[in-house]
Chain A
Amino acid sequence: MNFVNILIQTIFSQNFIFMRFLGLCPFFGLTNDMDSSIGMGGAVTFVTVMASVVSYFVYYFVLIPLGVEYLQTIAFILTIAVFVQLVEIYLKKMIPNLYKVMGIYLPLITTNCMILGVTLLNIQEGYSLLETIFFAFGSSIGFTLAMILMTAIRIRIADSNIPSFFKGAPIVFIAASFIAIAFMGLQGLGG
């Protein structure tokens, strides 16, 4: 049941964007149309899960034996950046079609704070490898859900007649805060 709880927590009650406020740059920057937000969601899902696994091994098999746990932040940043680069090189060669779909989003993900947040929280909560994978997967699904919700709202906003001083970023921030408040109602789900 623990895994189901982790999934429900990360997708709804502890959604990374609406409750933890991480990974907001793509959330506001890339939610203009459905294709790019779904593409970003897919790329983030892939990278988060893989980066969590890699950083799990880096932490428990490199940092702990050497007794330098305090280096986790900088080591994880390094790990994620290198990992994203590796994935990009690999995809370019082996799966060019997937590379075309995710191509422009992959370099952007390198600095997505949500991924670093997930890897750090995995360690903080003391998750096992399987729990780490579930946590990473759930949180990136939550991220994708948030992206899709925001895109749908922004498409509506683009067509509606709003006061000129709210146009652009302000109305998007307001809309995002409303969704965040709605998500607050889900607090307590999943234990």
Chain B
Amino acid sequence: MNWTIILSSVVILLVLGLLFGWMLGVFSKVFYVKENPLVEKIKDVLPQANCGACGFSGCSSFAEALANGDAPINGCVAGGQDTIDTLAPILGISQGSTQTRYVAVVLCKGGQEEALINADAKGASSCMMAHYLRLDDKVCHFGCLGFGDCVKSCPFGALTMGNNDLPIVNMSLCTGCGICVEKCPRDIIKLFSDTKRVLCLCSNRDTGSYVRKACKVGCISCGLCVKKCPEKAIVFKNNLPLIDIEKCTLCGICVTICPVHSLTLRQALTEKNE
């Protein structure tokens, strides 16, 4: 066995390795970059759901932008007021800036009992598929398809599928990130600010006679709410009532007189708890 070859290889590689290691050490000292410790702190506070509702690609890029002052402190939609309250002392900003809380609302009440079903929708496996391939079982072509694309997409587990194939929003878990809004192929999930308000839980833009044939709880655009509203806060657009929340006094008259009960007075989450 030739010991000199082994020995020389080991020595040469050792010297090379030491040389390179020393070079790296010097290099990292010379080009040392101080990472902003603020970014780490902000990252810990953020929800880490990477939902993208803030407009950045994820929680870490939002944290960076926030540390650089490129993002507003109330930018994190998912974290809500709690995140702002914890972020404020880290950033040294007084808690003056607040954020309106948004929650998702499913604008359809037509479950399996209320909506007329005239077909079998076994072929589809997702709302997207059912919508584009016309594999829906309901007569109403505006209503909820019930395959739960929104439920699957929710990163916070705020949506569950009810017994009547309509998704139920858990308002205390919903952060208003808007992912379900994008996922719904029929655009019946919308974000509304979390205040007590009147909502029309129907998205059917057909005229009354068609809606009457399709669903028991669909808005038949009878216009009774418009006539009876003491504040003249309701107008009809696309055969659906539009409620002006500036004018609405939440008297609830429209909700009680609605013949198909598609208008509801939704309680705010905060008021519900009291």
Number of chain A residues whose Cβ lies closer than 8 Å to a Cβ of chain B: 17
Tell whether, in the assembled complex, residue B28 and residue A82 are in contact, meaning their CB atoms are under 8 Å apart.
Answer: no
Q: B33 on the interface (CB 8 Å rule)? A: yes
Question: Hey, which chain A residues are within 8 Å of B16, CB to CB?
Answer: 62, 75, 78
Q: Is the interface of A mostly helix, strand, loop or mixed?
A: helix
Q: A92 on the interface (CB 8 Å rule)? A: yes
Q: How far is the CA of A101 from the CA of B31 in the complex (A)?
A: 19
A78-B17, A93-B32 known; A71 and B9 CB under 8 Å? yes
Contact of A92 among B8, B12, B17, B33 (CB under 8 A): B33
Q: B65 on the interface (CB 8 Å rule)? A: no
Q: How far is the CA of A71 from the CA of B13 in the complex (A)?
A: 8
Question: Hey, which chain B residues are within 8 Å of A62, CB to CB?
Answer: 16
Question: Hey, which chain A residues are within 8 Å of B192, CB to CB?
Answer: none
B30, chain A: closest CB distance, angstroms: 8
Q: B49 on the interface (CB 8 Å rule)? A: no
B156, chain A: closest CB distance, angstroms: 26
Tell whether, in the assembled complex, residue B20 and residue A90 are in contact, meaning their CB atoms are under 8 Å apart.
Answer: no
Q: A5 on the interface (CB 8 Å rule)? A: no
Question: Hey, which chain A residues are within 8 Å of B20, CB to CB?
Answer: 78-79, 82
Q: B23 on the interface (CB 8 Å rule)? A: yes
Question: Hey, which chain B residues are within 8 Å of A113, CB to CB?
Answer: none
Contact of B31 among A71, A79, A89 (CB under 8 A): A89
Q: B24 on the interface (CB 8 Å rule)? A: yes
Question: Hey, which chain B residues are within 8 Å of A82, CB to CB?
Answer: 20, 23-24
Tell whether, in the assembled complex, residue B27 and residue A90 are in contact, meaning their CB atoms are under 8 Å apart.
Answer: yes
A48, chain B: closest CB distance, angstroms: 19
Q: How far is the CA of A62 from the CA of B12 in the complex (A)?
A: 10
Question: Hey, which chain B residues are within 8 Å of A75, CB to CB?
Answer: 13, 16
Q: Which 9 A-B pairs have the closest CB atoms?
A: A93-B31, A82-B20, A89-B31, A92-B33, A93-B33, A89-B28, A89-B27, A86-B27, A68-B12
Q: A74 on the interface (CB 8 Å rule)? A: yes
B20, chain A: closest CB distance, angstroms: 4
Q: A85 on the interface (CB 8 Å rule)? A: yes
Q: A66 on the interface (CB 8 Å rule)? A: yes
Q: How far is the CA of A129 from the CA of B253 in the complex (A)?
A: 87
Scoring A71, A89, A94 by chain B CB atoms within 10 A of each residue's CB, the highest score goes to A89
Chain A positions 49-74 with a Cβ under 8 Å from a chain B Cβ: 62, 66, 68, 70-71, 74
A116, chain B: closest CB distance, angstroms: 16
Considering the complex, give the chain B residue whose CB is closest to the CB of A93. B31
Chain A positions 89-105 with a Cβ under 8 Å from a chain B Cβ: 89-90, 92-94
Tell whether, in the assembled complex, residue A71 and residue B27 are in contact, meaning their CB atoms are under 8 Å apart.
Answer: no
Tell whether, in the assembled complex, residue B9 and residue A68 are in contact, meaning their CB atoms are under 8 Å apart.
Answer: yes
Tell whether, in the assembled complex, residue B24 and residue A78 are in contact, meaning their CB atoms are under 8 Å apart.
Answer: no
Tell whether, in the assembled complex, residue B12 and residue A71 are in contact, meaning their CB atoms are under 8 Å apart.
Answer: yes
A160, chain B: closest CB distance, angstroms: 16
Tell whether, in the assembled complex, residue B13 and residue A74 are in contact, meaning their CB atoms are under 8 Å apart.
Answer: yes
Question: Hey, which chain B residues are within 8 Å of A92, CB to CB?
Answer: 31, 33
Tell whether, in the assembled complex, residue A66 and residue B17 are in contact, meaning their CB atoms are under 8 Å apart.
Answer: no
Q: How far is the CA of A82 from the CA of B88 in the complex (A)?
A: 42
Question: Hey, which chain B residues are within 8 Å of A71, CB to CB?
Answer: 9, 12-13
Question: Hey, which chain A residues are within 8 Å of B24, CB to CB?
Answer: 82, 85-86, 89
10 contacts between A and B (CB under 8 A): A70-B9, A71-B13, A74-B13, A75-B16, A85-B24, A90-B27, A92-B33, A93-B31, A93-B32, A93-B33
Considering the complex, give the chain A residue whose CB is closest to the CB of B20. A82
Question: Hey, which chain B residues are within 8 Å of A89, CB to CB?
Answer: 24, 27-28, 31
A144, chain B: closest CB distance, angstroms: 24
1/0 contact string of B6-48 vs chain A (CB within 8 Å):
0011001100110010011001100111000000000000000
Chain A positions 19-76 with a Cβ under 8 Å from a chain B Cβ: 62, 66, 68, 70-71, 74-75
Scoring B13, B16, B24, B32 by chain A CB atoms within 10 A of each residue's CB, the highest score goes to B16
Tell whether, in the assembled complex, residue A68 and residue B8 are in contact, meaning their CB atoms are under 8 Å apart.
Answer: yes
